[in-house]
Amino acid sequence: MLKAISAVLILLSASLIASGQAANASFDTAAKVFRLDGGGVSYVFGVNQRGELQQLYWGGRLGAADAFPQATALPEWVSFDSSYSNTPQEYAGWGAGLFNEPALKVSFADGNRDLVLHYESHTEQPNGFDVVLKDISRPIFVTLHYAMDPGSGILSRSATIENRGTEPVTVEQAAAASWALPAGRYTLNYLTGRWAGEWTLNQETVHPGARVIESRRGSTGHQANPWFAIQAGDSNEDHGSVWFGALAWSGSWRITVEQDQLDAVRVTGGFNPFDFGYVLHPGERLESPVFYGGYAANGLGGASRLLHRFELEHILPRTSATAGQALPKPRPVIYNSWEATEFKVNEAGQMALAEKAAALGIDRFVMDDGWFGQRKDDHAGLGDWYVNAEKFPHGLKPLIDKVHALGMDFGLWVEPEMVNPDSDLYRKHPDWVLHFPGRPESEQRNQLVLNLARPDVRAYVLGFLDKILTENDIAFLKWDYNRNWSEPGWDQLPAAEQKRVYVEFTRNLYSILAELRQKHPNVEIESCSGGSGRVDLGILRYTDEVWPSDNTDPFDRLTQQDGFTYAYSPQVMMAWVTDSPHWLNKRTTSLEYRMLSSMQGSLGIGANITKWSDEETATAKRLIAAYHQVQPTIVQGNLYRLISPRNGSEFSATQTVRPDKSQSVVFAFIHSTQEGRLFPALKLKGLDPAAEYALSPIQGKTRVGTPEVASGAWWMNHGLDMDTEFRGDFQAAAFRLDRK
């Protein structure tokens, strides 16, 4: 198939980055072939004989001189399967007999619903191209945006759909991108869950037909996350080809993974077409979300390490303190009052918690729900963002000053897009919520969703948040979102236009976050939605961290954190240590076990620390200090999932290695020892085999005879042995290795 041809490749852009990897984007004018190279990846597509944009290759990086002939559409497979359908198009319009998932489906004012997109032109862009497609007869233009990250080879793709005609056109379905894999045997990985049970990794054979993962909820959702990874036949955690992708959209979304009748696989993702209908008036455009896609030759572990680095370097926002830096700063160790006090917050109680938190070595004190309006429980107050005078008679200032005097910065909980019917805001503006006039408004947790798509609601939300941040010295907002949509009407608009809400709500959310960050460039934000109901690469452009689950049980968290890291970096994975027995599972665990479970991510404490004994206080203080020393390695290093806690595993272990291989941290957990089985030798990964590493315990012991210093080769080949007494239920150990 691959054939070197002599056509001159026009090198459009080549930028060198620190790692020495170049991203190239080239267009072979004679063959009409586009080629993108970055990291260890090449992505190639071209214009076929009919004018369609056809995918040609996605995988390991090809030789610089390798070239492709012009794309040839796949043939018709008897009369039932058209060539148009069989050909892996980059962005197929629904028309001409397309039976797989279209990238774009539209209805024209005259009833025509046939759309066939052909190549029109292209322009060079940094690390990529904008390629313009146009319908064969109507002035619908689609610009496909491609940008290849030079370091990771992760490709950003999105589409702009434009109506240059004189009549409105309704977009019924619009993807960000379609990805194609040739016929083969594959395993699909995707993440599902529910409240307090997020981040279940599902692994299943790709079968003929479609697997749809989606949210129809108006936001990302706990139930499925917009991420996928597809493994080639025999790939596993460490070996083999993996193609992966993550959709950067925090509204209703859909990713369809389908294997067609010829065994080829397509992945199409973007706005969820369910109840979608975006009217494009003459001259208007619709921008799709971005769909990121990557390839790793070294298994699921390699795929997640690429994605983590990409998130750290290219997705996560910077504050004024980290502006222009390669990486965002590791998260401060926080204290959060929610599980200790729930809604019963007040000045004296929060001050007492703050004193204790400071004594533990906490960096940031966060006051959760209950401080505003008439918020005594979850029946009232959302929407009324004034300080509750009974609980805080002197406003927030005395508490914030106290927190600062104790050497911590201050964070505050908000839930900006919600309103309780029992609130001044709702009494004044009942029309501000998502609703259909004359129909019931379904409450969940006694609250309704403000229609953030409305300009007045947007102005209100931005206004009160700006005011809180201007009037108080606040370093951090925990931005919560505690229900999904119902009755998604927007009665300000004509009936035919109301479905715009699916796009404009999320766009306004992003623009509020962007504007707040611009006005308050030191402020950091967490995306929380009753746990992980809004975790995706869209919101992570504007938020520094996320809350992975309301479930803080340290044993459940091991599996959740394992699932989480397939898609997201440990840096954004907040993990609190809370009280035992745990409120959800009634499970009793040691403080050491709870601490080590949380130390795998960005550590926080969420227990009622005023009740902790001196011994507990000393343990937490010691482990927080140990965590601070190695935190960049844990949250920004390369993660190796050594033993998965999934599927009832008796043991689990992770290891992180600094990119320069100078330090590594190992965590080991026992669920429940059976038959006296000893913890298996941990064969470490990613170290420099020739360097000497000194091992020191953070918690627990190694087996008698374990060297204090040994080569990377020793730790990787011989492995690390735990103490033979490391047995029992819910046991944990952690070690660090430092290069000599």
Give the residue numbers marked as catalytic: 480, 550
Helix (H, G, I), strand (E, B) or coil at 203: strand
DSSP state of 50: T
Measured from the CB atom, is 415 or 562 closer to ligand GLA?
A: 415
Tokens 């080809």 sit at which residue? 241
Q: How many residues does the chain have?
A: 740
CB of 470 to ligand GLA, least distance (A): 23
Measured from the CB atom, is 58 or 371 closer to ligand GLA?
A: 371
CB of 399 to ligand GLA, least distance (A): 18
CB of 576 to ligand GLA, least distance (A): 9
Give the Cα separation of 247 and 227 in Å (integer): 6
CB of 660 to ligand GLA, least distance (A): 36
Measured from the CB atom, is 179 or 547 closer to ligand GLA?
A: 547
Q: Of 231, 205, 304, which is closest to residue 641 (Cα–Cα)?
A: 304
Measured from the CB atom, is 149 or 550 closer to ligand GLA?
A: 550
Chain-centroid distance of CA 310 in Å reads 11
210, burial (CB in 10 Å: exposed 0-12, middle 13-18, buried 19+): middle
* Neighbour count for residue 586 (Cβ, 10 Å): 9
Measured from the CB atom, is 22 or 196 closer to ligand GLA?
A: 196
- Longest Cα–Cα distance in the chain: 82
Give the Cα separation of 24 and 165 in Å (integer): 36
CB of 621 to ligand GLA, least distance (A): 24
Helix (H, G, I), strand (E, B) or coil at 181: strand
Residues in contact with ligand GLA by the rule CB under 6 A: 338, 368-369, 413, 480, 482, 528, 530-531, 547, 550
Give the Cα separation of 403 and 398 in Å (integer): 9
Measured from the CB atom, is 338 or 490 closer to ligand GLA?
A: 338
Helix (H, G, I), strand (E, B) or coil at 43: strand
CB of 445 to ligand GLA, least distance (A): 8
Give the Cα separation of 184 and 240 in Å (integer): 14
Peptide bond into 328 cis (omega under 30): no
> CB within 8 A of 272, min separation 6: which ones?
214, 215, 216, 251, 252, 253, 254, 502
Decide: 213 and 224 in contact? Cβ < 8 Å: yes
Helix (H, G, I), strand (E, B) or coil at 135: strand
The continuous run of DSSP H or E covering 507 comes out as helix 501-519
Measured from the CB atom, is 485 or 502 closer to ligand GLA?
A: 485
Measured from the CB atom, is 255 or 450 closer to ligand GLA?
A: 450
CB of 509 to ligand GLA, least distance (A): 17
Measured from the CB atom, is 311 or 480 closer to ligand GLA?
A: 480
Q: Alpha helix locations (H) across 533-636?
A: 554-567, 591-599, 614-636
CB of 486 to ligand GLA, least distance (A): 18
CB of 528 to ligand GLA, least distance (A): 5
Give the Cα separation of 671 and 587 in Å (integer): 12
Give the Cα separation of 715 and 655 in Å (integer): 12
Decide: 131 and 144 in contact? Cβ < 8 Å: yes
Tokens 């004296």 sit at which residue? 348
Give the Cα separation of 253 and 214 in Å (integer): 5
Q: Alpha helix locations (H) across 439-500?
A: 455-471
